[in-house]
């Protein structure tokens, strides 16, 4: 299977053949009750119903890992992973610039379970080295980051983690498996909010984990207790969506790159964050570890009111989430990072003028025209 091209894996990997009807799609197995004599107990909450297992196999193929697991949301994937490897008395290292939901969980919840953490001041291996403790067990990164598109050197971080015997985890949501495969660079566990690019149509909520069979099984056992399973119908919708992942993201990459360059030339923009821009501080690292620079960017308006700007848009929707075929925009201070205090947002570099743009597959000229008219 690994010898097949990525596009072929998107379409075919993990598909269950229907011997009865010989249909080309994986059937939807709606049962919540399965026979158990002379076989493993099958139950939706155990993450082993046929649709979930088929989808896990597809995820593993896309990330070039031994195993994959599908859960009910990206945060279910993140929380199940953290609690699978961390216990009372342990310490974890987290990069600077986390997704707001992850930041909220790490800073508000982990300490309640006796797990300490450090969010580093920058994402270099040297800084991680200074913060490591004898009780450190896990290192967690996210690149490109949400919403500032900061780039972390995956190979360097993975090497540091292996040197110190740490479990390395990455949130690969912004890149998608089309643009980045962290397991190939040494990362142990790859997480996605499948609600985003894997789903691609703003109509499902899911999360996935990929890694070695041993690691994924540990996460699965924790997830069974936490209860974040995904129903068969949504598994089917996600499997269907992944079939077009490669072609969708290819157009989104192209559109985002053109928009980033165009926005950089506009007088009403003070800053554009996109790793495909040559002046981006992580550009060279992104070139080394990414196959494409992604469909996400963010920018800061120079003076124009960000709420008014969004209300003036006619084609682009002010909306939460990302990764869909339609272009959406949001203020991070009001959405993904709303639970952070003003001081925490300031420390992360997230201003009131910052807008995050998830670029879709529309004609890029139509998107430019809509953005330009919004400041008139």
- Three-state SS for 92? strand
As a whole number of angstroms, the distance between CA 152 and CA 127 comes to 12
**Residue 147, preceding peptide bond in cis (omega within 30° of 0):** yes
CA distances from residue 132 to 90, 305, 352 in whole angstroms, order as listed? 11, 42, 33
Reduced to 3 states, what is the DSSP secondary structure of residue 154?
helix
DSSP secondary structure, 289-357, as one string:
H-SS--SEEEEEESSS-HHHHHHH-SSSEE-S---SSS-EEEEGGGTTTTTS-HHHHHHHT--TTEEEE
> Which residue, among 215, 194, 190, has the nearest Cα to 204 in the 3D structure?
194
Which residues of the chain form beta strands (DSSP E)? 67-71, 91-94, 116-119, 136-142, 167-171, 189-193, 207-211, 269-273, 296-301, 317-318, 328-331, 354-358
| Contact yes or no for 125/157 (Cβ under 8 A) | yes
Handedness of CA 57, 62, 68, 73 (dihedral sign): negative
Q: What are phi and psi of 74, to 5 degrees?
A: -65, -40
Residue 63: both structure tokens together: 């990330």
Q: What are the residue numbers of the active site? A: 45, 99, 171, 196
| 3 state DSSP class of 172 | coil
């Amino acid at each position: 299977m690994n010898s097949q091209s990525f596009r072929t894996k998107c379409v075919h990997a993990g598909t269950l053949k229907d011997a009865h009807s010989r249909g080309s799609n994986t059937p939807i197995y709606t049962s919540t009750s399965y026979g158990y004599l002379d076989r493993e107990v099958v139950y939706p909450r155990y993450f082993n119903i046929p649709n979930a297992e088929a989808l896990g196999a597809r995820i593993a193929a896309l990330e070039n890992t031994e195993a994959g697991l599908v859960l009910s949301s990206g945060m279910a994937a993140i929380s199940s992973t953290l609690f699978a490897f961390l216990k009372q008395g342990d310490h974890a290292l987290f990069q600077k610039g986390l997704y707001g939901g992850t930041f909220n969980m790490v800073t508000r919840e982990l300490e309640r379970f006796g797990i300490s953490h450090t969010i580093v001041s920058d994402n270099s291996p040297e800084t991680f080295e200074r913060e490591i403790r004898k009780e450190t067990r896990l290192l967690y990164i996210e690149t490109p980051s949400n919403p500032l598109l900061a780039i972390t050197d995956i190979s360097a971080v993975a090497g540091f983690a292996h040197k110190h015997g740490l479990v390395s985890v990455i949130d690969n949501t912004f890149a998608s498996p089309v643009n980045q495969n962290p397991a190939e660079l040494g990362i142990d566990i790859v997480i996605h909010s499948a609600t985003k690019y894997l789903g691609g149509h703003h109509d499902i909520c899911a999360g996935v984990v990929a890694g070695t069979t041993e690691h994924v099984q540990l996460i699965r056992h924790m997830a069974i207790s936490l209860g974040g399973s995904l129903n068969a119908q949504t598994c089917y919708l996600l499997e269907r969506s992944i079939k077009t992942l490669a072609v969708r993201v290819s157009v989104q990459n192209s559109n985002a790159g053109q928009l980033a360059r165009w926005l950089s030339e506009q007088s009403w923009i003070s800053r554009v964050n996109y790793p495909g821009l040559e002046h981006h501080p992580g550009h060279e690292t992104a070139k080394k570890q990414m196959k494409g620079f992604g469909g996400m960017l963010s920018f800061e308006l120079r003076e124009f009111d960000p709420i008014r700007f969004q209300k003036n848009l006619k084609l682009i929707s002010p909306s939460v989430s990302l990764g869909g075929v339609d272009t959406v925009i949001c203020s991070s201070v009001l959405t993904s990072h709303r639970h952070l205090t003003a001081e925490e947002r300031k420390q992360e570099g997230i201003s009131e003028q910052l807008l995050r743009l998830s670029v879709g597959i529309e004609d890029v000229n139509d998107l430019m025209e809509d953005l330009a008219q919004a400041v008139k």
